[in-house]
Amino acid sequence: MYIPEHEVRELLTFDALIPAIREALIDFSAGRVIQPARMILRAGNAEGYNNGWFAVMPVIAGDVMAVKSVTYFPGNAALGLHTHMATIELKSRQTGEPLAVMDGRLITEMRTAAVSAVALEALAPALFPAGPVSLGVLGSGVQARSHLKALRMVCPTLRDVRIWSRTRANAERLASETGARAASIDDASSADVVLAATSSPTPVLEGRRLAGRAVILAVGAVGATLRELDDEAMRTSWLVAESRDAAEREAGDVVLSGARVKAEIGEVLADSLPAGVAMPREGRILFKSIGMGVEDLAGARLVWSAKNA
């Protein structure tokens, strides 16, 4: 069975995906997921930043197994193509039988936003008991759009949404389509919640621009040599990740700043923080997301289940 993207779009909803992702993150931190490090190969198609990569992400969780193959080619943007493309194969854990192969691009897009939504819902109450009011979005692409929908679902108090993009016209377009407003980078970076969702290989979110109390969601700059946040932003924040090992191995924001992960988001969700670790009640909390196979598995399983309902 092959499920193309247009069918995935009809079958997968944030209403179902967000709670599924929450459970997947808890299971991962509790040791109930078998998930080796992703294998990444450089394509060698171009020099420098436009050199694409190909990754394979196998995972076993619950009653299914999955493997995602995903590519990221930054130069595709200039060609009018998606920069990320993916396929996901879902198999039975009991027999090894293939259950479905499906387009994984939209699943990747939505599960990334769903992870951020789960993190915001868990982390924001520590700093904003009544709920954060302002959201600054750095970026105006696919992830910015998807995140706006997911974050508003879990945090309806976000009434002041500020969008910054290197290209002002792109920020204005997204703002007009989503009931937000285009803003300067200073204005967007100083919000209660700041989403960094750019394709920049060098820092765009600087600590000097952040408010003293803020939740930061960093989802761009996946790769040990790429950065979206500067040292000040990283080192002055209480750092949370999906996986300690993966973030300290694969996230340039973490590796190059020397910041250390205080907790996994699954530990926060399950109220099982390591001994001696407590959630801060002031300052900044930063969630660094790099994506995990178990998140793709959760999305793919929902699509397959809905297809067979």
Q: What would the pLDDT profile of 265-291 be if each residue is shown by its tens digit?
A: 999 999 999 888 999 999 999 999 999
Place of tokens 């300690």: 244
Distance, CA of 159 to chain centre: 22
> Residue 105: pLDDT above 90?
yes
User: What was the pLDDT predicted at 47?
Assistant: 86
Question: What band does 209 get if pLDDT is binned at 50, 70 and 90?
Answer: very high
The upper half-sphere exposure of residue 271, i.e. CA atoms within 13 Å in the direction of its Cβ, equals: 1
Supply the Cα-derived Rg of the chain in whole angstroms. 18
Classify the C-alpha dihedral 278-279-285-289 as positive or negative: positive
> Which residue ranges form the domains of the chain, and what is each CATH number?
2-107+294-307 (3.30.1780.10), 117-292 (3.40.50.720)
Q: How distant, in Å, are the alpha carbons of 251, 262, 288 from that of 244?
A: 10, 8, 10
Q: What is the mean pLDDT of the chain?
A: 95
Q: What is the pTM of this model?
A: 0.95
- What is the C-alpha separation between 182 and 252, in angstroms, rounded? 28
Q: pLDDT by residue (tens digit) across 26-58? A: 999 999 999 999 999 988 999 887 889 999 999
Percent helix, strand, coil in the chain, to 5, is 40, 25, 35
